[in-house]
Amino acid sequence: MGINGKILVFVDLPDGELDETGRGLLSYGARLAGTLDSPWGAVVAVTPDSVQLAAFGAYGTPTITCMAGGETLLDTPALLGKSLAKLAQDELASVIVLPHNDLGTSLAPVVAHELDAAIMTELVTVRQNADGVRLSRKALGVRVAETRLWDCSRPLVATIPLRALSQVLMPTVRPSAPAVASWRTTAPISGAAAAITGRIPADPQTVDLTEAEVIFSAGKGCDPATFEQLKELCKLLNVSFGVTRPVYDLGWTSFERMVGQTGRTVTPGLYVALGISGSMHHVGGIKDSRRIVAVNIDSKAPIFPNCDEGFVADLKELLPRLLDQVKTRIGGTP
Ligand SMILES: Cc1cc2nc3c(=O)[nH]c(=O)nc-3n(C[C@H](O)[C@H](O)[C@H](O)COP(=O)(O)OP(=O)(O)OC[C@H]3O[C@@H](n4cnc5c(N)ncnc54)[C@H](O)[C@@H]3O)c2cc1C
């Protein structure tokens, strides 16, 4: 049992550029097409310029469908979703791939509803079996792990978590010169739709740690003075801060800041572990971070084999110096 139609990968072009998420989605699309032995192509709401076209080509993107007028719908996801569903019908798509971000999670239910399609959010792995396609996901901050069987009788709408996206160019993918086509809906898209009037960027000081981009975490190697210095550093650098369980147990911060197996499972681009030994209960909650940097006074601390970069240093010396340097850079004086 296999799929009959095409895989459509919806790529947003913030500021007209193919960003990290877009590149990751193209890489995902190329891999998925190989797994399902199916043709694939990209869909964009903003027409790419020649530089961006070359970037699409580097990922072997065979076709790009530009939604005429799509740019004006970006602030009304319900209407954009309806439009995308019509395009998917016109292109006889079997799979519609979206990023699991603000835009993708707004579009996915609309597209699935319009197409009467199956929906799988935070999809990670796809396997073709004799009885159908097995779809596995880890959702809700990796608290849910499940595998579902898709019988391919209806289209599938899938959102892909950003942590599962890799911009790596697959060696099997040949660069292409994508065939670009413009698509315009024949029926008018209408309906009551909430419009986005503004976007407020997440505040790293309050954002849920599962969504944080950069986290500096304090372990038991911090004393009250270095802990306060670390919090000040996080504010100055505008990054999120987390703690290990013993630090939470001291009552220095709330439970939402605790990272690890019983705390938050985090997947930031950068995780900086300060005075953290690296127990399995803590490492289990950080191992999917893109880059882990550790500072510990003990060169034999178990965190070191689990990090990308390790520094043997005393936080009592390091943190005041780091703070001074950051203050000098930001404000001119320490
Ligand atoms: C069922 C269960 C669930 C758990 N869940 C979690 C969880 O979700 N999250 C979690 O974090 N823990 C959890 N734990 C606890 C976990 O096993 C460890 O005890 C804990 O992670 C250790 O925290 P730590 O690294 O801060 O402290 P420690 O293990 O005490 O390590 C402190 C480190 O700081 C270094 N250090 C000391 N002084 C300095 C200095 N001046 N400069 C630099 N480095 C210094 C030391 O060399 C040491 O490596 C759990 C335990 C159990 C039993």
* CA pair distance 137, 120, nearest whole angstrom: 8
Whether 226 is in the pocket of ligand 1, judged by its Cβ within 6 Å, is no
Q: Which residues in the chain are classed under CATH 3.40.50.620? A: 6-183
> Ligand 1 atom closest to Cα of 316?
41
Calculate how far, in angstroms, residue 213's C-alpha sits from the geometric centre of ligand 1. 22
By the 8 A CB rule, do 273 and 217 touch? yes
Interval 192-214 mean pLDDT: 85
> For the chain, what percent of residues have pLDDT higher than 90?
75
By the 8 A CB rule, do 162 and 21 touch? yes
SS3 state of residue 166: coil
Whether 230 is in the pocket of ligand 1, judged by its Cβ within 6 Å, is no
Whether 252 is in the pocket of ligand 1, judged by its Cβ within 6 Å, is no
pLDDT of residue 120: 96
The Cβ-side half-sphere exposure at 12, using a 13 Å CA radius, reads 20
**Confidence class for position 6, pLDDT limits 50, 70, 90:** very high
Residue with CA nearest ligand 1 atom 7: 260
* pLDDT one-digit tens code per residue, 113-129: 999 999 999 999 999 98
Q: Which residues in the chain are classed under CATH 3.40.50.1220? A: 209-331
**Confidence class for position 334, pLDDT limits 50, 70, 90:** low
Which class in CATH covers the domain with range 209-331? Answer: alpha beta
Residue with CA nearest ligand 1 atom 39: 221
SS3 state of residue 214: strand
Whether 244 is in the pocket of ligand 1, judged by its Cβ within 6 Å, is yes
> For the chain, what percent of residues have pLDDT higher than 70?
96
pLDDT of residue 181: 95
Residue with CA nearest ligand 1 atom 12: 245
Calculate how far, in angstroms, residue 277's C-alpha sits from the geometric centre of ligand 1. 5
Per-residue pLDDT for 136 more than 70?
yes
For residue 164, the 8-state DSSP code is G
pTM of the model: 0.76
Across the chain, mean pLDDT equals: 92
SS3 state of residue 281: helix
| Cβ neighbours for 314, distance < 8 A, ≥ 6 positions apart | 297
Distance of CA 303 to the CA centre of its chain: 25
pLDDT of residue 278: 97
* pLDDT one-digit tens code per residue, 43-67: 999 999 999 999 999 999 999 999 9
Per-residue pLDDT for 3 more than 90?
no
> Ligand 1 atom closest to Cα of 318?
42
Per-residue pLDDT for 333 more than 70?
no
Interval 264-287 mean pLDDT: 95
Q: Is the dihedral of CA 274, 277, 279, 283 positive or negative?
A: positive
> Ligand 1 atom closest to Cα of 219?
26
Pocket test for ligand 1, best of 215, 280, 295, 296 (most atoms within 8 A of CB): 296
Interval 209-236 mean pLDDT: 96
Calculate how far, in angstroms, residue 303's C-alpha sits from the geometric centre of ligand 1. 10
Whether 219 is in the pocket of ligand 1, judged by its Cβ within 6 Å, is yes
CATH for 6-183 is: 3.40.50.620
Whether 276 is in the pocket of ligand 1, judged by its Cβ within 6 Å, is yes
